[in-house]
Structure 1
C-alpha cells in the first residue's frame, strides 16, 4: 500500500496537476528543482506500473491511481493542513479567509468552476511552502481571480507557476523567482515581466506568455541563463525582442507568432547557436530577416507563414540542419538560388505569388513535400526530376503554369487542379505516370490537350493490365476473397467515359449487367472504375472526401459477393471532371463463374452524372485491349504492399471447413442426418396423441396436469412444423 509519506506518492507529483499528461523531460526538470531524484524515481514508478509513458513521451496515470492518491491526501480532514489542494471550494475558502496553510505545497484550481473572486494582497502570505501553483481556465479568457489592491507576495519556493488571465501588469515586487523552473501566464495582463532591477530567473527553463496582449517587451535575456523555450505568440503589443540574445546559448524554441507589431529582429538573434525552432507566423509588419540568418547552425524549423517577409537572405543556404521551411502566404516573396539545404524535406511556398522557381531546385535532394500552390510561375525547372525523394507535389491554382516536365519517379501525389493555363505535359511525364502508383488531380485544367488526357487514361488501363496475381501471404485467409485497393486516382477535365471502358452508362450513378459471355471460371478479377462527378456546393471546395463504389457479384451457383472501393479527392464547384481508379479481387479457395454484376457510385457533397467499370479476368488477359507488346513489357508489377486490403465474404451458406456449427441447416443438408419424411412421421404421431387426449378429456373431467401436458405437445408440434418448413425451403431431401 502507498502511504502519504512514501516517495512513490510524492514522486508522482500532484494528481491532475503538472506531471500527469506532461512531457517526461519537463516533469523531470520540475521534480529535480523540488529536491527529488527524478531519473531514479520515475524509473521506479514505471517499473511498478504506477505511471506509463505515451508514444510522444508524455506521462500518464490511471484514473483509479489518481483517485487513490487524492484519497490518501484527504486522510487529513482539514484542507489547510493537506499538502495538496485541488477542490475549488476548499481553495477559495483558504484564499479568501485568514487561515494559516503552512503544509500546502501545491495548488491546482480549475477557474471555470468558480465565480469571480477578489483576493487580498496578502492572500498568498500563508503559503510559505508552496512549490506548485496552477490556476487554469481552459474554456474562457474571462478573468476570474481579481486583485484590485495588487499582490504583495508569492512564495519564493515556487518551481511551477501557471496562472491563466493573471490580472496585474507586473509580478509582485518582493517575489524572488530564483527557484522557478516553468512560468505559464497565457492571456495575462502583464505589461512587462520585470524592470532593469528585476531579479534573476536563474533556473527558469520554460516561459509561456502567449496572448498577453499588453506585453510590450521582455527583459534582458541575460537574466534567464537556463531558458530553453520562449512562447510569445499572440502578444500583439510586443514591439521588440531584446538584443541581449547574443549572451544566451541555451534557447532552443522561440515562438513570436502573431506578434503583429513586431517590425524587426535584431541581428544578435542569430547568435542563438542552440535555436532549433523559430516561428514568426502572422508577423505582418516583419518585412525582412537578418542577413546573417545562416549563423543559426542548429535551426531545424523556420516558419514565416503569412508574414510580411519579401525576401529570403542568401545565407539561408548555410542552414545545414534545416528540414522544414514554411513561407506560405508571404506575398511577393523572392527566393535565392538553392545551393545548400541538404536536409530540407518540406518546403511550403503556397500563395506567395512567386514568378520564378530557382533553376537549381533539383539540388534539394532530401525534399519530400513541395507545396507551390497559388503562385504565378509559368514553368517548373526540369531539374525537379533530380529530387529523388519527392513524394508529394502541390501545384493547385497555379493559373499561369503552362507545361509539366518529367517528374521524379517516386512521386505519389500530384495536385494540379485549377491550373487553367496548363496546355500540355511532356511525354516523359506520361511515361512516368505509367511507371508509378500516383494520385493525380488535373481537374479544372480546362486547356489541357485532349490527347494528353486520352494518353493518361490509357496509362491507367495499362497499369490495370500490369497487375499480377498476389502472393499467398498477401491474402486474407479468414475471408472468401481479398479485395486490394490502390490509392492510384486520376482526375482529368472532360465529360465522356474513356472508349476502352467495357460497361458504362450515359446518365446516372449505377449500372448492372450480365456476364454470360464470360463462361470461363476465374479466381482473379481486376476492376477499373470511372465516374463523371460534380460538386453540389456553389462557392467552396470540398476537401478530404471520397468517391466510392459498392459492387455486387452473383455467381452461377447463386452466391453473392459484395465489395467496396473508394478514393479520396477534392470536389471543385461548378466543374465536371472524370475520376478513375482501380482495384483487384482474388478468390481464396476456388475459381468461380460470375453471372451478373451491379455497381452503385456515390460521393458526399457531390453528384455522379455518369459511371462505368472495366473488368479483367485472369483467363482473358490476352483480350485486354492492349496491343503494344513493348508497352506491356515495360510496365512494372504493382506492389501489393502499397494496397489497402479488405476481406470479402459470400452471403449464402458457404461454411468454412473448420466451422461446421456456423450454419446448422447447411450441416444437416450436407450430412443427411435428417429428412423431411422423418419429421412428417413425428408430427403425425404427436397430432394423433393430442386428439386422443382431447377425446379422453371429453369423457372424464380434465385434470390440470393433463391440460398442461396437452399444451406442451401442441407447442412441440408447432415448433417441429416450423422447422419442417425451413428444411423444405432449403431443399432438404425427402
Structure 2
C-alpha cells in the first residue's frame, strides 16, 4: 500500500469514525478521491463522476474561456473541436478554457491546430499525481496499456503478462480504482489525456528514441529501424503501418534490441490498399529477441522466422495474411505459448511440431489454402479450446483424435476434401463441418451446436448427442426425419433450409417442447406439415416458404408463442385462423393464396402479401374499414399487397407523396392514425435488393410556423416495407396500409391548423456491407415511387362527427379517379393542381362547403345507411376530417 493511500485512509477514518458526532443531524458529507479503494470504507454510497456530456462540457468551457463576454463568430467553429478533444474531462475543460481566455484569434487557431501535440503542463502535472503513487510494476503495466494495448480485451492482456507478472490481474484493478484505466465491457481503455501523459513520461526517458523503453511514434520507429539505433532499453515497439512511411529493413534491424518483449506491426484499416509498408530482405531477418512475449505483424513478409530464434517466452503470435511458408524447424520449448493466429497465410505449407506447447489454447489457421496436413501432435494439446481450420481448401489429413477435454469450438468449415471428423470426448459448444465431405458425426462427440450445412454426403439424419441445442442441416441430402427426433429434448433450433429431398416429417417432431426456431424453407418436396396435437409452447419462428405445402394444420392457432411465420412462395391457397401472438406473417409470392382469416386482422401484425395477385383485397379492405373505424384492431397493423386504388373511406387522400389535412379543434383526442399508399417499382427488385438491404417507407408530419419559412416537424417515423432478394415485385402497383394506435399528444397545439404528411422510400443496408455505397442505395430509391396516399385519423369521442352524402361521396370519388387518369399528363407537363382557381372558375361551391352546410341532414342519412348495410351501431365511435381533391386543371 502506498503512503498516499495510507494517509487518505487515516484522514477518512478520523473524520467519519472519531468525529462523526460533530456533524449535525441530516448533514451530508461529500468526500472526493482519485482512489476508489479509499472510499470502500465508512461511506454510505459511492458515486463515480462521469464525463460531461457535450452540452455541459461546452457550457463549462465557455464559462472559463469567455467569462462574461460572448464568443465571436471567429471562435464559434473552434469550440466544438476544443470540447471534443477534452472528451468531457472537467479538469481539461477548465485548464484549456482558462488558458485561452482573452487570447487573440491567432492564438485560438494555433492552440486548435496543436491539440494532442502540445501537452498542457498544468493538466499533465495534475494527472501525474495518481501515476506517481503507483509501484514499479503498476507503472509498467499502465505504460504498456497506454502505449501498446489500449483497446485490447482485459483477459488477453492478462494472458500475455501473467507468466512474468503473476499479479497483473490485481494491478489492473488498482489502475481502474485510481481512474487511470477504464474497463468497459472488459475492454481496456483510458482517456486520451492520460495516454498523452504516458507518452510524455516515455519521452522524458531520453531524447534519443533508441534509448527509450517504448516506441510508438511512426517517425521515431522509422529512424530507429532504418539507422539501427535500437538498444537493450527498448522493451516494445508498436507501429501503425497505415501512418508509417515505406521502409525496407535490413536483416539486422532488430539486432541491438535483445530485451524486446512486444513487437507489434499492425494495420487498423480494413480498406487499406497497401497493407504492408514494411519490407524485409529476401533472406528475412537474422535476429529477433528471445525475450519476445507478444509478436504481432500483419502481413509478415518473410517465409520463416530467424533460424536461431527461440520462442521459449512467446505467449502469442499473430501473423494474419503473412507470407510464411514454415515458422521454424525442429522442436522448441513452447511452455508459455497460448495462442497462434496464422489466418489467411496462403503460402503456409507446414506447421511446426507443437507437442511441447502444452498450454496452447487457441489456434487459428483459417484461410491457409496451401496447408494439406495437420500434424498428429495436435492430438496431445490437452488445453486446446479452439481450433479453426475454416477454408483450408486443400486440407486432407486431420488427427484421428483430439484429446483435449477443454475443446469448445472446432471449425472445419469449407474443407471439402475432409471426409472424417476427429473424435473427441470434450463437451463441444460448437462443431462446424459445413461444406466438408463427412458422412457421419463421431458418436463420441458431445455436442451443443453443430453445423453440417452443404454436406452433400449426409443422406440420413445424424445420430448425435441428446444434449444438442442447435442443429444446422441446410442443403444436405436428408430424405426423412426419423421419429426418434423427439428424444432430442434440448433442441432449440432446427435448420433444414433447401433440403430438396426431404418429403416427410414425423408427427413426433411436434413433441419437441423446447424447440423455438424451425426452418424448412426451400424443402420443395415437403407437402404436409403434421397436425400439432399438443401445443409446442416454445415455438417462436416457423419457416415454410417455397415448400409444396398447400394447407396449414388448423391446430396452428394454438401455438401461443409463435411470433413469426414465413410462407414465401408456398403453394398455400388459404390461411386458417392464426395464433394471436403472431407479429409477422410473410407470404409474398404465394400466387395461389386467395383468403386469410378475418381474425388475423384484429391483431397487432405485419402482413407481407406482395405478388399475391389472386388475393381478394376487396374483402379484406371492407373488414379493415370496420375494424379501424371501430377501433377493433391491434396497436399496430401493417399490410402490403397488390393494389392500385386507395380505399374510398380514406377521405384525406391525394395524388403524389404528400397529403394535407385540416385538423379539428379537439385534435388532442386523436386515438389512432392510418395511412394507405400506392407504391410502384420500375425495375425488378432482385436486380437492386439483396438479403442485407431493405426498402423502408419513411414519413413525417409537419405544420407551418407562424411568420416563419421553416415548418414545425411534428414527428418522424418509418416502417419496413420489404426486405428480400428474389421478389418479382416490379412494374405493378402495390398497396401499403399501416395503422397504429396513437398514444402521444403530438397534435394538440396544432388544432384548427393544416398539417401535411409526407411519404418517401428509403433504402438501407440491414448490416455492414463494404460493397454497398450511398450512391447504390439512392439508386434503389429512384426506382421506388409513391404514386398516391391517403391518411385517416380516428378520434376518441366524437363531438364533431362529420358525415357525407352518397352524392357528395360519388362526386368526390369521380374527382379522385379522374385525377388518377389524368395524373400522368399533368405530372409530365409539370402543371400544379390549383384548388381555389378550379372552384372559382366553375362557379361551384366546393364539396367541403356543401358538406358542412347540410351537416344535420347528412348525419341522419349516414346513420340510416350504416344500419342498413352493416347492422352495426358504430357511427358514434369515429370521426374524420374530409379533404376533397378537385380534378386536375384542364
Output the TM-score relative to the length of structure 1. 0.70
Counterpart check, 1:567 vs 2:724? no
Distance 2:439 2:276 in 1: 38
Query: Cα gap change, 1:587/1:85 in structure 2, threshold over 3 Å: closer, same or farther?
Result: closer
State the partner residue of 1:8. Answer: 138
* Structure with higher helix content: 2
User: 48, 53, 61: which one pairs with 2:190?
Assistant: 61
Matched residue SS, 1:71: helix
Distance 2:602 2:627 in 1: 10
Distance 1:28 1:161 in 2: 15
Q: Is the 8 A contact 1:510 1:599 kept in 2?
A: yes
State the partner residue of 1:531. Answer: 677
Q: Is the 8 A contact 1:533 1:607 kept in 2?
A: yes
Q: CA deviation at 1:620?
A: 5.5
Query: How do 1:385-534 residues align onto structure 2 when only pairs under 5 Å count?
Result: 386-393=535-542, 398=546, 400=548, 402-405=550-553, 406=556, 408-417=559-568, 419=569, 421-428=571-578, 430=597, 433=600, 437-446=604-613, 461=628, 464-466=631-633, 486=636, 488-497=637-646, 501-503=649-651, 505=653, 507-512=655-660, 523-534=669-680
Q: Is the 8 A contact 2:459 2:476 kept in 1?
A: no
Distance 1:594 1:317 in 2: 69
State the partner residue of 1:666. Answer: none
Distance 2:455 2:148 in 1: 34
Q: CA deviation at 1:547?
A: 1.2
Query: Cα gap change, 1:53/1:401 in structure 2, threshold over 3 Å: closer, same or farther?
Result: farther
Q: CA deviation at 1:190?
A: 1.7
Query: How do 1:311-390 residues align onto structure 2 when only pairs under 5 Å count?
Result: 314-320=462-468, 322-323=469-470, 325=471, 330=475, 332=477, 337=482, 338-339=485-486, 345-346=492-493, 349-350=496-497, 353=500, 355-356=502-503, 358-359=505-506, 360-370=508-518, 372-376=520-524, 377-383=526-532, 386-390=535-539
Counterpart check, 1:183 vs 2:350? no
Query: Cα gap change, 1:347/1:59 in structure 2, threshold over 3 Å: closer, same or farther?
Result: farther
Output the TM-score relative to the length of structure 2. 0.58
User: 290, 306, 313: which one pairs with 1:172?
Assistant: 306
Q: Which moved more, 1:330-339 or 1:526-535?
A: 330-339
State the partner residue of 2:336. Answer: 203
Deviations along 1:118-152, whole A, 9 cap, x unmatched? 43333333222111111113334446221322333
State the partner residue of 1:88. Answer: 218
Query: Cα gap change, 1:259/1:50 in structure 2, threshold over 3 Å: closer, same or farther?
Result: same
Query: Cα gap change, 1:607/1:278 in structure 2, threshold over 3 Å: closer, same or farther?
Result: farther
Query: Cα gap change, 1:288/1:503 in structure 2, threshold over 3 Å: closer, same or farther?
Result: farther
Aligned residues, how many? 597
Query: Cα gap change, 1:521/1:169 in structure 2, threshold over 3 Å: closer, same or farther?
Result: closer
State the partner residue of 1:277. Answer: 409
Distance 2:340 2:449 in 1: 19
Query: Cα gap change, 1:277/1:464 in structure 2, threshold over 3 Å: closer, same or farther?
Result: farther
State the partner residue of 1:288. Answer: 437
Matched residue SS, 1:14: helix
Matched residue SS, 2:284: coil
Distance 2:354 2:733 in 1: 58
Matched residue SS, 1:427: coil
Distance 2:518 2:189 in 1: 37
Distance 2:175 2:547 in 1: 59
Distance 1:442 1:7 in 2: 66
Distance 1:387 1:255 in 2: 36
**Larger RCO (CA within 8 A; separation ≥ 6):** 1
Counterpart check, 1:133 vs 2:283? no
User: 355, 359, 367: which one pairs with 1:226?
Assistant: 359
User: 752, 757, 768: which one pairs with 1:599?
Assistant: 757
Distance 1:128 1:463 in 2: 83
State the partner residue of 1:664. Answer: none
Matched residue SS, 1:8: helix
State the partner residue of 1:608. Answer: 786
Distance 1:62 1:351 in 2: 51
Matched residue SS, 1:166: coil
Counterpart check, 1:156 vs 2:290? yes
Distance 2:870 2:354 in 1: 73
Query: How do 1:234-313 residues align onto structure 2 when only pairs under 5 Å count?
Result: 234-262=367-395, 267-269=400-402, 272-285=404-417, 286-289=435-438, 291-293=440-442, 295-297=444-446, 299-300=447-448, 302=450, 310=458
Query: Cα gap change, 1:491/1:223 in structure 2, threshold over 3 Å: closer, same or farther?
Result: farther
User: 724, 736, 739: which one pairs with 1:579?
Assistant: 736
Q: Which moved more, 1:528-537 or 1:154-163?
A: 528-537
Q: Is the 8 A contact 2:544 2:570 kept in 1?
A: no
Deviations along 1:541-578, whole A, 9 cap, x unmatched? 27334213334689xxxx99934442113265415433
Query: How do 1:712-727 residues align onto structure 2 when only pairs under 5 Å count?
Result: none
Q: Is the 8 A contact 2:445 2:465 kept in 1?
A: no
Q: CA deviation at 1:304?
A: 5.6
Deviations along 1:92-121, whole A, 9 cap, x unmatched? 333344445111111111223445434333
Q: Is the 8 A contact 2:147 2:198 kept in 1?
A: no
Query: Cα gap change, 1:161/1:552 in structure 2, threshold over 3 Å: closer, same or farther?
Result: closer
Q: Which moved more, 1:607-616 or 1:36-45?
A: 607-616
Distance 2:712 2:345 in 1: 64
Deviations along 1:466-505, whole A, 9 cap, x unmatched? 56xxxxxxxxxxxxxxxxx84x433234444457x44365
- Structure 1 residue runs without a partner (length 5+): 468-484, 630-734
Q: Is the 8 A contact 2:493 2:517 kept in 1?
A: yes
Distance 1:335 1:224 in 2: 45
Q: CA deviation at 1:52?
A: 1.0
Matched residue SS, 2:340: strand
Q: CA deviation at 1:60?
A: 1.1
Q: CA deviation at 1:209?
A: 0.7
Q: Is the 8 A contact 2:438 2:458 kept in 1?
A: no
- Structure 2 residue runs without a partner (length 5+): 1-127, 418-434, 580-596, 705-710, 763-780, 802-862, 873-890
Deviations along 1:256-296, whole A, 9 cap, x unmatched? 22322335755525x55433333344445543347345644
Distance 1:611 1:218 in 2: 66
Distance 1:384 1:463 in 2: 36
Distance 1:143 1:48 in 2: 39
State the partner residue of 1:728. Answer: none
Q: Which moved more, 1:277-286 or 1:142-151?
A: 277-286
State the partner residue of 2:347. Answer: 214
Query: Cα gap change, 1:394/1:336 in structure 2, threshold over 3 Å: closer, same or farther?
Result: closer
Matched residue SS, 2:238: strand
Distance 1:367 1:10 in 2: 52
